[in-house]
Amino acid sequence: MPTVNIALIGYKFMGRAHSNAYRQVRHFFPGKLEPRMKVICGRDREAVTAAARKLGWEEVETDWRRAVERKDIDVVDISTPGNLHRPMVLAAAHAGKHVVCEKPLANTLADAYEMLRAVERAGVKHMLMHNYRKIPAVAFARKLVQEGRIGTVYHYRGAYLQSWLLDPKFPLLWRLDRKLAGSGALGDIGSHACDLARCLNSEFESVAGQLTTFIKERAYPEAPRQAKRRGRVTVDDDANFLARFRNGSAGVIESSRLCGGRLNYNMFEMYGSRGSLAFNLERMNELQFFDATEAADRRGYRTISVTQAAHPYVGAWWPPGHIIGYEHTFVHAIADFLSALERDRLPEPNFYDGVRNQAVLDAVERSAQSGRWEKVKCPI
């Protein structure tokens, strides 16, 4: 079987999730191309060597540019903090490699657009890892929307709520530094909410946003117990916005890292002329569906266990009722990516989505500054 050689940059949370996807994909999703876990890349040789062994990579590199330029590499997978996405994507495109990139694509809209242009010019395939599109329940929701089962959408609610910043002793990690992370709740988890809204409902037309940093100072991670070594949190920890979508629907999007008891509460509700849908990542194998066309005395939200062979991606796994977990979404994404390579198609979502998502986040940031509704200005 022809192989496609992968170089992965990053070996923390996302690096682990991507590695698992490459390891598992062909055991569940057959295909013509075999991914080969060629090289994993990180600055700390000892740590990356241990990661290679644990995660199943053949070789290590400590200089990402070397990994990107290796002749034997076909795909560069970027699982690093957001500020490194741009140089890595540009280098990979320049070297003619296909690219898989973690979200958000970039820390600014201009960077995102430049990165899109680079992969376009290079003619390489590009995928953006908005993995939640790959949840069977989400893909099935999209199918129901496309079938017209909820009719014309009037009202869309998206929220991604977490709680990990609730502890004031949580240290000042890179995700809380604007220079490294670009933005806070908005870019990290609000970007997922944007992507789902675009995937399920419509492109955004305009937004009115509100960004807040409630906990403004934290201890540096090296020395969390020394009260004096504290620094400023330079990103939002709570980000909300109203939206008008191109299809005319009204939208409300929330994202926060200060919502106690919400561990990974990425949810949406869609209300249309013929029905409604509701989903929550913490119960990611379920989809709520309300069919407004049924008789008034016997309709109601039904909980669909999206674990049937007829549901997207599910046939590859286990019998009905046997749920899958978080990391499976990455397996689905890589299966789709490999399938796109095989068929010489562009995988989805891709850098076009990255630019469009970034244009929404950009408008939210402008609105939070200007205090008014702002149009989404997308260069594509």
Write the interaction track for a second copy spanning residues 243-262; mark x where CB under 8 A is met and - where it is not: -x---x-x-x-x-x-xxxxx
Q: Does 56 participate in binding a second copy (rule CB under 8 A)?
A: yes
Contacts 24+ apart (CB under 8 A), 319-324: 323/285, 324/136, 324/285
Shortest Å distance, C-beta 232 to a second copy: 18
Q: What tokens appear for 27 in the block?
A: 């055991």
Lookup: tokens for 2: 């022809």
Is the distance from CB of 68 to CB of 89 less than 8 angstroms?
no
Round to whole Å and give the CA distance between 290 and 276: 5
Q: Which of 41, 99, 208, 361 binds a second copy (CB under 8 A)?
A: 208
- Shortest approach of a second copy to residue 31 CB, angstroms? 12
Among 76, 144, 176, 363, binds a second copy (CB under 8 A): 144
**Nearest-5° Cα angle at 236, 137 to 207:** 65
Distance, in Å, from the CA atom of 279 to the CA atom of 266, rounded to the nearest integer, reads 8
Residue with tokens 């996302």: 14
Q: How far apart are CA 144 and CA 217, in angstroms?
A: 45
The stretch near a second copy (CB under 8 A) out of 97-105, 112-120, 204-212, 357-365 is 204-212
Q: Select from 187, 212, 180 the least CA-distant residue to 358.
A: 187
In the range 104-143, which residues lie near a second copy by CB under 8 A?
Answer: 140
* Cβ contact 192:160 at 8 Å: yes
Looking at the Cβ atoms of 125 and 134, the one nearer to a second copy is: 134
Of residues 246 and 299, the one with the C-beta less far from a second copy: 299
Residues 344-373 close enough to bind a second copy by CB under 8 A: 370-373
Residues 215-234 that bind a second copy (CB under 8 A): none
- Tell the smallest beta-carbon distance from residue 32 to a second copy (Å): 14
Find the part of the chain contacting a second copy (CB under 8 A) among 39-47, 222-230, 280-288, 356-364: 280-288
Q: Mask of contacts with a second copy, 14-33, x by CB under 8 A?
A: ---x-xx--xx-xx--x---
State residue 8 phi and psi, 5-degree precision.
Answer: -105, 130
If the CB atoms of residues 111 and 254 are measured against a second copy, the closer one turns out to be: 254
Closest approach of a second copy to the CB of residue 283, in Å: 6
Among 142, 264, 366, 379, binds a second copy (CB under 8 A): 264
Q: How far is the CB of 17 from a second copy (least distance, A)?
A: 7
Among 218, 311, 332, 356, interactor with a second copy by CB under 8 A? 311
Closest C-alpha to 190, from 312, 367, 11? 367
> Would you state the structure tokens that stand for residue 329, as one six-digit string?
């979404």
